[in-house]
């Protein structure tokens, strides 16, 4: 039996987002009243001009990235394009990097993660590695440091 996208999100992706330290707190869009209060949050079904993103990733009240999820049978490398569309059409982005309003873009099928840091003109999307010191799933504090350095 093929695992559905919803089950992949709940069983694999949510579990991994919660397992890193510090973890991402997963919250439905409908439960958010003030985005400025979100510190380490993955907001589900976040609306953009191009549709609903599976997860919008917030750190210190700012939307820093999108994570698009697909079922295990789908290669997330191809899905990264969907997350890029959301990053270009989000209503309240934090900047502008060649048309992208958020700097970090992810796609995953729960087993493989692809990402792009679009802050440079010649960015390259790549598969996230599972080996230390760089975990496949980046915790919110790493995003804080990345924004300060760049």
Q: What share of the chain is helix, strand, coil (3-state, %, to 5)?
A: 30, 30, 40
Query: What are the tens digits of pLDDT across the range 68-89?
Result: 999 999 988 888 999 999 999 9
How many angstroms separate the CA atoms of 25 and 133, rounded? 23
Q: What is the pLDDT of residue 123?
A: 86
* Domain spans of the chain, in order of start: 5-149
Q: What is the pLDDT of residue 142?
A: 65
Q: What is the CA radius of gyration of the chain?
A: 14
What class, spelled out in words, does domain 5-149 have in CATH? alpha beta
Query: 10 Å Cβ neighbour count for 45?
Result: 13
Q: What is the pLDDT of residue 143?
A: 60
Contact 64, 104 (CB under 8 A): yes
How many angstroms separate the CA atoms of 68 and 13, rounded? 10
Q: What is the pLDDT of residue 145?
A: 61
Query: What are the tens digits of pLDDT across the range 22-56?
Result: 889 999 999 999 999 998 999 999 999 999 999 99
Query: 10 Å Cβ neighbour count for 120?
Result: 11
């Amino acid at each position: 039996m093929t695992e559905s996208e919803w089950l992949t999100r709940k069983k694999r992706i949510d579990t991994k987002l919660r397992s890193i330290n510090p973890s991402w707190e997963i919250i439905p869009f409908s439960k958010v009243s003030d985005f400025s209060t979100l510190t380490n949050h993955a907001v589900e079904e976040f609306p953009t001009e191009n549709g609903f993103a599976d997860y919008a990733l917030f750190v210190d009240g700012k939307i820093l990235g999108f994570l698009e999820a697909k079922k295990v049978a789908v290669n997330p490398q191809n899905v990264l394009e969907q997350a890029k569309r959301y990053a270009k059409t989000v209503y309240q982005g934090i900047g502008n990097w060649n048309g992208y309003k958020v700097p970090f873009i992810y796609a995953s099928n729960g087993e493989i993660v692809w990402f792009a840091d679009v802050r440079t003109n010649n960015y390259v999307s790549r598969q996230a590695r599972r080996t230390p010191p760089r975990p496949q799933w980046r915790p919110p504090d790493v995003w804080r440091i990345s924004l300060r350095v760049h």
